[in-house]
Structure 1
Amino acid sequence: MSSKQAAELALSVFATSDAGLAMIAPDDRVLMTNPAFERLFGGAPPSELLARLQIASWGEAAHQEPVLTVNGRTLRIKVMALPPGYFVNCEDITDQFDRSAREAKLARTDRLTELGNRQLLRERLQALLHDSGPGRDSHALLTIDLDRFKAVNDALGRNIGDALLCLVARRIRATVSDQDVIARLYGDQFGIIQSNRPQPASAIALAQRLRDLLSRPYMLEGQLIEVSARVGIAPLTQGTTDADQVIKNADLALNRAKQDRAADYCIFESSMDQTMRARRALETDLRRALALREFALVYQPQFDLQSGRVTGLEALLRWNSPTRSPVSPMEFIPLAEETGMISLIGEWVLRTACRDAAAWPDDITVAVNVSAVQFANRALSTTVLSALADSGLDPRRLELEITESVMLDARGTALGVLQRLRATGVRVSLDDFGTGYSSLGYLRSFPFDKIKIDQSFVRGTSEDPGNRAIVRAIASLGQNLGMATVAEGVETTEHMERISTAGCTHVQGYLISRPLPPEQVIAFLAVSKTAPPTSVSDRSKVA
């Protein structure tokens, strides 16, 4: 190919290229352009052209690749220094740029609610935290969690649950300003970055508005749905530099708000982090206790007022930690339920109680508490029957104590498990009766063997007519339904007299006996056959 032919080929490629090409002299004169370049820049004067190309120093231009928008197109500008001047290549990357922008937006968007997601919220937080100016204190993160969402989702299905989340997202949008950032973090938890407002007063006001608006009823497919919201607030203080720490702080505040049922919101305090560290340490020790078998059972007798004798004992869990000393069940059982460890612990309690009770007289029953978390496991009935078979205990001597939280299972699986177990002879009692909201409905849906009256009604002062009326009403209800009524927390003879007069059939408490270790139960039962109830406790001390 001759040099003339090569030159003609180069000019042909130059003219037909889709990229905008130009030759520019060192003195800024435009020497040559192709049609694509003309379409982009429309014959602009050299001074305007150079300004629009955003190239300040042509001597360094070969090392730059600026991106700019011209006539709605996104261009990447490449400049190459040549002997006669500079060669400019304007590459059209609109489609690539738009695709990247869409992908970036999708990566930061919750597809269900079309709000931002956790990644977006974290990036915006980090950007605000990089600002060390005085305006830092005008920002706050709020995290929002819906009460009862899981129950709604389980009862009405995921489609209704998703639709509810979309309505919640819409209400949140209507509550915040355009400069605030909203994100769905996960599940039914949302986050808001409130910006350029006096803090924490503005965050508190927003939390109260959210609580009011999100708690109003929702109508979905003919269903009237009610949920409520809790809010955690974490102001962006000058000492905080990590977005993850701010999110953690807001979550800690949210957890505190959820624990305090009377609170709409909670503001983060440093002591909450210390509390969370202590909780994690307790969780670690609890897992170790399960592996090292640091748990033990004690048994508290239940006295039958009609026969005048002890007819059963309730198994109570104790944790004798070598590093913590005895840990209160009120402290570790809620944690075990929250972490799911209660299933393994509960199975150990059930099997141990059945094995211990198998050595007692045949007319003595054993009561075992079963949590709602255990009922979520479909294998519970199999576990109960296995524990009975392994121990040889008559099913009629086992009593399962449940609270109304078990009956809140919207799918009805708990009720089905109870019915199957009761068909085998296992007894079922409703614990802490009178402290919930729907217990009367549960008495209609399931034939309990016993109703346990919460000790708060038993230990009330004798001058409180309300407590006396409640105890009498529950005792009468039990009698009419053919259910035994057990009054818990009986500690004095005055308690005993009031309970007996009210018509309760059984009592349980320190007046009868403190909880007994397994090795003392048989001796105690032998003593209790001949002892009046007011003296059983004294005799049990030497059993």
Structure 2
Amino acid sequence: MSDGRSLKLTTRERLSRWIARIDWLLVFPIAAAAAWSFGENAVAMVLTVVLPICLLLDGRGSRRRENLLMEFASGQPLARTSIQKIVDDVLEDCARRQRSTAVMHFQIDGLHVADGDWDADSQDAIMDRLIQRMSTALRGQDAIMRTGSDGVIIVLAPTRRVDLDTIMNVVDRVQSAVAEPVSLDGRTVRVSCCAGICSEAMSPSRSGSAMLAAADCAMRIARRQGDDAVRVFTADMQARVETDHRLSIQIDDALDAGQIRPWFQPQIDARSGKLAGFEALARWHHPDLGVLAPGQFLASIHAAGRGADLGDQVLKATLEALIEWDRTGIEVPCVGVNFSLDQLMDPRLAERVIWQLDRHDIAPNRIAIEILETVTLRDGDETIMRNLRALRDAGFRLDLDDFGTGAASIAHIARFGVHRIKIDRSFVSGIDSDPAQREIVAAILGLAERLGIDTLAEGVETPEQQATLTAMGCPHLQGYGIARPMPFADTIPWALSRPIAADLSLRTMQPRGRA
């Protein structure tokens, strides 16, 4: 934790909670009677009349919040309107007492893939335990509420100082509490949470609905960045979210019109420099916004339930590209195609993919199915395992993408029959100057060699990184330092212009067909 505080309550927080439980409207008359008996008439007047009135006025918002929070005590998520009322009451208290507040929206990631599948009851039980832990990272007066199946809203009680440092201290404590493993029914789950933040000063307007919407917006941006990401609401975020909404309602038309199609990023043999293959990466050729990268539209694709359709289109375009490369005489041994979880959960996926290759007369070993580490954690999913087994048996290659960023174990890698692991770019960055990075990559290369698995390093951006990886024995490289993703039309001039391919124009056209 960044501020070094324990997750246990401090003495000050314990005292604060104890004081908050005292019914001061009963205590004050007793104190006032004592003051009258000792002749302190002015003190008695204040205790008897003025302070109780102040407490009554100050306590109205708190009691309203407590009544609303009773809905949450049953274990069920609070309705959005109830959460808005709570934030509105806190803002009212802040205005009266010259205080401020902040709203934080946490999204729990990993409930659906960690250590097997979890049914709804199991997920609820895990969420209950996580919320109990998160509560220990807060002050007694702060409100914590569950929203939806895996969301949590935290509203800070009126506070004198609510700057970014103060908020981040809370976020750090909450994320540390969530990161601890949870045991349930003999199984262990590790989850993470991203967060969106909006303080009263950041909010577009001073209302519960505006603060919640702003925190939601920041949370959605954070989710794009990966586990434990935190984002603070800014004015330009709203425009990004509005663009997301715009894209989400255009997905169907874009897929039907063929606006979303693959670009191809080369992969090379580290020692010879020869073209080892391409990776197919989806791009949306938007008529108004230009070419959009996957991070700008994949969330909308999956939200619309069109992930499988996108995968089918990318595979079809990849097979057509292989046919054209063969016709031109460019040797492309293999192309990596990303398969999403939505695709892998389709029981007819393997049958459909095998049919596509038969139809185009392409050998299965020229397609590498790229899956993320999170997929390997679903080894109890019969549909996924059946699909991967059928595709592997048919001759397709299997690449494990972004290796090192998830929780795949050696046992998972062996069980899935992975042909190649792709070392994540985070381990490649600075490898030429950082001994620790070299040690990590050397360990991965050694593991792969012992298991008889091929390797490819992603994110190679400089000649120094390329030279270091080659000297370490990494056989395949990919990254901007070699070539950026490019439209299919540019791949042929790029391949023919490489020195290693200078004699390709003199070769006899290679026949298509199975290897």
TM value normalised by structure 1: 0.64
- Give 1:409's aligned amino acid: R
Deviation at 1:130, TM superposition (A): 6.8
Q: Secondary structure at the match of 2:422?
A: strand
Whether the 8 Å CA contact 2:316–2:356 is kept in 1: the answer is yes
Whether the 8 Å CA contact 1:234–1:268 is kept in 2: the answer is yes
Deviation at 1:145, TM superposition (A): 3.0
Deviation at 1:469, TM superposition (A): 4.7
Once the two structures are overlaid, the 10-residue window that deviates more, 259-268 or 340-349, is 259-268
- Give 1:221's aligned amino acid: D
State which of 426, 429, 438 in structure 1 corresponds to 2:396: 426
Q: Secondary structure at the match of 1:184?
A: strand
Deviation at 1:493, TM superposition (A): 6.6
Partner of 1:450: 420
Deviation at 1:384, TM superposition (A): 1.8
Q: Does 1:502 pair with 2:466?
A: no
Whether the 8 Å CA contact 2:178–2:191 is kept in 1: the answer is yes
State which of 351, 376, 380 in structure 2 corresponds to 1:411: 380
1:19-418 to structure 2, matched below 5 A, reads 109-110=71-72, 113=75, 116-126=78-88, 133-135=95-97, 137-152=99-114, 155-171=117-133, 181-200=143-162, 206-236=170-200, 240=205, 242-256=207-221, 258=223, 267-284=232-249, 288-304=253-269, 309-310=274-275, 312-333=277-298, 336-337=301-302, 340-361=305-326, 364-409=333-378, 411-413=380-382, 414-418=384-388
Partner of 1:484: 454
Partner of 1:533: 500
Q: Deviations over 1:292-332 (max 9, x none)?
A: 32234344444456888545433333333332233334544
In structure 2, C-alpha distance between the alignment counterparts of 1:133 and 1:490, rounded to whole Å: 53
Whether the 8 Å CA contact 2:103–2:211 is kept in 1: the answer is yes
- CA separation of 1:501/1:451 partners in 2, compared to 1, >3 Å: closer, same or farther? same
In structure 2, C-alpha distance between the alignment counterparts of 1:257 and 1:292, rounded to whole Å: 31
Whether the 8 Å CA contact 2:103–2:156 is kept in 1: the answer is yes
In structure 2, C-alpha distance between the alignment counterparts of 1:123 and 1:181, rounded to whole Å: 12
- CA separation of 1:394/1:113 partners in 2, compared to 1, >3 Å: closer, same or farther? same
Cα RMSD, aligned residues only:
4.4
In structure 2, C-alpha distance between the alignment counterparts of 1:536 and 1:435, rounded to whole Å: 40
Whether the 8 Å CA contact 1:115–1:182 is kept in 2: the answer is no
Q: Secondary structure at the match of 2:256?
A: helix
In structure 2, C-alpha distance between the alignment counterparts of 1:405 and 1:291, rounded to whole Å: 30
- CA separation of 1:199/1:207 partners in 2, compared to 1, >3 Å: closer, same or farther? farther
- CA separation of 1:367/1:185 partners in 2, compared to 1, >3 Å: closer, same or farther? closer
In structure 2, C-alpha distance between the alignment counterparts of 1:133 and 1:453, rounded to whole Å: 53
Quick check: which one's strand share is greater? 1
- CA separation of 1:172/1:384 partners in 2, compared to 1, >3 Å: closer, same or farther? same
Once the two structures are overlaid, the 10-residue window that deviates more, 171-180 or 406-415, is 171-180
- CA separation of 1:536/1:497 partners in 2, compared to 1, >3 Å: closer, same or farther? farther
- Give 1:248's aligned amino acid: A
- CA separation of 1:274/1:484 partners in 2, compared to 1, >3 Å: closer, same or farther? same
Structure 1 unmatched runs, 5+: 1-104
- Give 2:500's aligned amino acid: P
Q: Deviations over 1:176-230 (max 9, x none)?
A: 6776555332212233444443352676665555444444444433444444445
Partner of 1:46: none
Q: Secondary structure at the match of 1:149?
A: coil
Whether the 8 Å CA contact 1:204–1:265 is kept in 2: the answer is no
Q: Deviations over 1:499-520 (max 9, x none)?
A: 4443344444678766565456
Q: Secondary structure at the match of 1:155?
A: coil
- CA separation of 1:472/1:307 partners in 2, compared to 1, >3 Å: closer, same or farther? same
Structure 2 unmatched runs, 5+: 1-66, 507-515
In structure 1, C-alpha distance between the alignment counterparts of 2:146 and 2:416, rounded to whole Å: 40
Whether the 8 Å CA contact 1:137–1:236 is kept in 2: the answer is no
Deviation at 1:363, TM superposition (A): 7.8
- CA separation of 1:499/1:193 partners in 2, compared to 1, >3 Å: closer, same or farther? closer
TM value normalised by structure 2: 0.67
In structure 2, C-alpha distance between the alignment counterparts of 1:241 and 1:509, rounded to whole Å: 46
- CA separation of 1:192/1:313 partners in 2, compared to 1, >3 Å: closer, same or farther? closer
- Give 1:451's aligned amino acid: I
In structure 2, C-alpha distance between the alignment counterparts of 1:261 and 1:507, rounded to whole Å: 24
Deviation at 1:429, TM superposition (A): 1.6
In structure 1, C-alpha distance between the alignment counterparts of 2:94 and 2:70, rounded to whole Å: 25
- Give 2:262's aligned amino acid: L
Q: How many residues align?
A: 432
- CA separation of 1:537/1:247 partners in 2, compared to 1, >3 Å: closer, same or farther? farther
In structure 1, C-alpha distance between the alignment counterparts of 2:342 and 2:273, rounded to whole Å: 36
In structure 2, C-alpha distance between the alignment counterparts of 1:314 and 1:296, rounded to whole Å: 13
Deviation at 1:412, TM superposition (A): 3.6
Whether the 8 Å CA contact 1:347–1:383 is kept in 2: the answer is no
Deviation at 1:370, TM superposition (A): 2.0
Whether the 8 Å CA contact 2:108–2:194 is kept in 1: the answer is yes
Q: Deviations over 1:362-411 (max 9, x none)?
A: 98433212234433444432442242243232323222122323223363
Once the two structures are overlaid, the 10-residue window that deviates more, 369-378 or 503-512, is 503-512
In structure 1, C-alpha distance between the alignment counterparts of 2:95 and 2:462, rounded to whole Å: 65
Q: Percent identity?
A: 28
- Give 2:106's aligned amino acid: I
Whether the 8 Å CA contact 2:261–2:313 is kept in 1: the answer is no
Q: Secondary structure at the match of 2:71?
A: coil
Partner of 1:52: none
